[in-house]
Homo-oligomer: A and B are copies of this chain.
């Protein structure tokens, strides 16, 4: 040990690194919102952020990885409602999801991540984990409703919530039309009726829309 200071080989989380990171992610987000994933290039992000192209490749290696980091960055956005009743909670959450998908920034990001996930396994994992985590958190909403006796006891929270989210991603990725307010209302109403009817219970009709793992007893045909 001479007069060595920082252990060589360690990462350095300090000022400049964080600054360029912010600049890059901001530029990426803006690019996605304005020109979409179609026009996304490392080159463009480099120019817009003022960070050199080589640096981008060094730290992120590809646009897929870049986009995937922006997704994980975007946590804690959609706030969980607690209105006291299940219909109120579902409506509020559906509207929040509608706004989330309605924003050009997040819309472009979702599209980009799904496209990235088709090619990059790491992006696929990030995508799955992101929504898994949100479903887990939002599960509290359903558990409260079960505790209040508004839903069957064996209702699967993740099934309910993925049913609430599915129409929005369908609208964006498949139908490719704008997310209008009516979709939120319709979806909230639909999921409420379905949940009350016991469509998302673990025992009866099926394992439901979200929890995939458990071995379902039925057959495929």
Residues of A within 8 A of B (CB): 36-38, 95, 98-99, 102, 111-112, 114-115, 117-121, 124, 127-128, 131-132, 159, 162-163, 165-167, 169-171, 173-178, 180-200, 204-210, 212-213, 216, 218-221
6 further A-B pairs in the complex, CB-CB below 8 A; given A170-B209, A193-B193:
A127-B174, A169-B169, A175-B210, A181-B220, A186-B200, A187-B206
- What residues on B are CB-neighbors of A196 within 8 Å? 193
Tell me what chain A mostly uses at the interface: helix, strand, loop, or mixed: helix
> Which one of B38, B117, B176, B190 lies within 8 Å of A176 (CB-CB)?
B117
> Which one of B111, B171, B185 lies within 8 Å of A118 (CB-CB)?
B111
A194 to B200 CA separation, bound complex (whole angstroms): 12
**Copies of chain A in the complex:** 2
CB distance from A14 to the nearest CB of B (A): 35
A204 to B163 CA separation, bound complex (whole angstroms): 20
> Which one of B38, B127, B190, B220 lies within 8 Å of A200 (CB-CB)?
B190
> Which one of B114, B178, B189, B190 lies within 8 Å of A190 (CB-CB)?
B190
With A99-B220, A118-B37, A119-B37 as contacts: A183 and B169 at CB distance below 8 Å: no
Q: Please, which residue of chain B has its CB at the minimum distance from the CB of A200? A: B186
With A115-B114, A190-B200 as contacts: A176 and B124 at CB distance below 8 Å: yes
A52 to B209 CA separation, bound complex (whole angstroms): 44
User: B191 contacts A207, CB within 8 Å?
Assistant: no
13 A–B contacts, CB within 8 A, in A order: A95-B220, A166-B174, A167-B209, A169-B170, A181-B216, A186-B209, A189-B205, A190-B190, A190-B197, A190-B209, A192-B197, A193-B193, A193-B199
